[in-house]
């Protein structure tokens, strides 16, 4: 009787239920059926039941706990985004036998070790990693001091969590050429017909991948391996991806950046109507322009230096000028007239800002991120492994929504608002 294997399956089902991953209920049902089947089988065999009494008792307790969690109100069956660490550890646990085999054979590998990381939330905060002690006069603290890189913010604002695609080409439908106008009518009068044409649009996802060399020892200390992948490899992938999401030219293997879709700043109702306009008036102009385009501004990406210039603006008596509609919270985050100004060091091309109704920006990831560990070249004689991280994504904005995204250069935008121009 393989009680350990069944116990592991129940534990995995518990983790799946706890993290609300896809198929959690199915895993729990499968584990329950196998456990109940084994219990029923042993009940017919008194000798086997007596011999395995302790294991059976533990199995019943695990099964009762699993059944309680399956039937618990509010358990969700939809995919829930997990942290990189949680997803990595679950994937590594599934491959533990392969990892142990590699370590036991001195680093030899029969083929690539592939970790399929499921339902990962992007831009996750880095948690403290655990320590792994060694019998030595030194102790491994588990701490890796990372090279500092810029903070990314793009994917925390757009609708990437709401878009899941399984194929490398994203398709959406656009409504075009609407006809007819509803009117109020008398009883029994002929009704007005309205119509619209739907057209299919699609865009191909693009892949980004990086590889790095690690020692075989990294496989012994998963916290360091997680830290290396997340803080060194994935961080650089995030930065390169964010630049592409803003300014990719859409050709070849490049994403189409949102700056190509956004419309130029005009200021909406404030165009040529503001006396002595400032940068703060420009932010209000973005809100006005988006509103006229039937959108609601929920964020404006602004070059970090531009935000600092706005905050440091003074009058002729060297007093700071801060409009009543501008607020700064305890974390130093700035809002202008109820809209967050999102500081970014990303490449915005020749523009200083881009914002509006950011919900119309769709970013989707095809499949799951994969981490592959393999030997390459002379890795074996150097006790090294090659680690490859890949992800594939697509970005698109419907032609109906480009008007609610606004871009501009601060100097030019101020000139657009100036009533004296």
pLDDT 10s digits, 212-222: 888 887 877 77
Q: What is the pLDDT of residue 225?
A: 82
> Whole-angstrom Cα distance, residue 326 to residue 336?
4
pLDDT in tens, 293-345: 999 999 999 998 899 989 998 888 888 888 889 999 888 889 999 999 999 99
State which H helix or E strand residue 236 sits in: helix 235-247
- Confirm if 400 and 174 have CB atoms less than 8 A apart: yes
Structure tokens at 103: 């370590």
Residue 136 has pLDDT above 50, yes or no: no
Is it the case that residue 93 has pLDDT exceeding 50?
Answer: yes
How far apart (Å, rounded) are the C-alpha atoms in residues 408 and 406?
A: 7
Mean pLDDT of the region 10-38: 66
Q: Are 254 and 206 in contact (CB under 8 A)?
A: yes
Confidence tier at 254 by pLDDT (50, 70, 90): very high
Q: What is the pLDDT of residue 400?
A: 93
Model pTM score: 0.68
- Residue 305, helix vs strand vs coil: helix
Token pair for 225: 């391996």
Q: What is the pLDDT of residue 130?
A: 26
The CB-based long-range contact list for 125-134 (8 Å cut-off, 24+ gap) reads 126/227, 126/230, 126/231, 127/83, 127/85, 129/223, 129/224, 129/226, 129/227, 130/223, 131/223, 132/220, 132/221, 132/223, 132/224
Q: How far apart are CA 176 and CA 244, in angstroms?
A: 29
What is the model's pLDDT at position 399?
92
- CA 66 to mean position of chain CA atoms: 30
Per-residue pLDDT of 105-126, as tens digits, reads 878 887 888 887 766 654 333 2
Residue 132 vs residue 410, higher pLDDT: 410
**Max mean pLDDT range (38-47, 249-258, 311-320):** 249-258
């Amino acid at each position: 009787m393989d009680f350990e294997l069944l116990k592991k399956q129940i534990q995995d089902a518990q983790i799946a239920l706890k993290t609300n991953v896809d198929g959690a209920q199915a895993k729990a049902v499968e584990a329950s059926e196998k456990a109940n089947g084994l219990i029923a089988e042993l009940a017919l065999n008194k000798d086997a039941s007596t011999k395995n009494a302790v294991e059976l008792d533990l199995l019943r307790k695990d099964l009762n706990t699993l059944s309680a969690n399956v039937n618990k109100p509010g358990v969700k069956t939809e995919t829930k985004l997990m942290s990189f660490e949680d997803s990595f550890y679950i994937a590594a646990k599934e491959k533990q036998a392969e990892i142990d085999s590699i370590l036991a054979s001195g680093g030899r590998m029969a083929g690539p070790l592939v970790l399929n990381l499921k339902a990962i939330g992007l831009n996750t905060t880095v948690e403290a990693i655990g320590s792994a002690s060694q019998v030595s006069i030194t102790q491994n603290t588990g701490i890796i001091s990372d090279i500092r890189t810029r903070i990314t913010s793009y994917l925390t604002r757009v609708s990437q969590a709401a878009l899941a695609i399984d194929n490398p080409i994203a398709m959406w439908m656009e409504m075009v050429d609407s006809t007819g106008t509803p009117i109020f009518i008398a009883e029994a009068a002929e009704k007005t017909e309205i119509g619209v044409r739907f057209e299919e649009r699609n865009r191909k996802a693009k892949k980004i991948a990086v590889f790095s060399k690690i020692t075989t020892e990294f496989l012994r200390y998963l916290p360091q391996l997680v830290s290396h992948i997340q803080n060194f490899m994935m961080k650089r992938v995030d930065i390169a991806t964010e630049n592409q999401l803003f300014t990719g030219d859409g050709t070849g293997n490049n994403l189409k950046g949102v700056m190509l879709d956004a419309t130029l700043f005009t200021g909406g109702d404030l165009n040529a109507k503001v006396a002595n306009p400032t940068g703060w008036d420009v932010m209000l102009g973005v809100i006005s322009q988006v509103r006229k385009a039937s959108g609601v501004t929920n964020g404006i990406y602004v070059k970090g230096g531009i935000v600092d210039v706005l905050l440091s603006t003074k009058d002729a008596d060297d007093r700071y000028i801060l409009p009543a509609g501008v607020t700064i919270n305890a974390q130093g985050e700035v809002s202008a007239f109820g809209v967050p100004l999102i500081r970014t060091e990303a490449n915005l091309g020749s523009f200083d800002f881009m914002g509006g109704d950011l919900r119309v920006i769709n970013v989707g990831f095809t499949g799951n991120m994969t981490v592959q560990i393999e030997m390459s070249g002379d890795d074996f004689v150097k006790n090294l492994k090659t680690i490859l991280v890949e992800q594939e994504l697509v970005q698109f904005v419907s032609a109906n929504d480009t008007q609610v995204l606004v871009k501009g250069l601060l100097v030019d935008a101020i000139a657009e608002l100036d009533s004296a121009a």
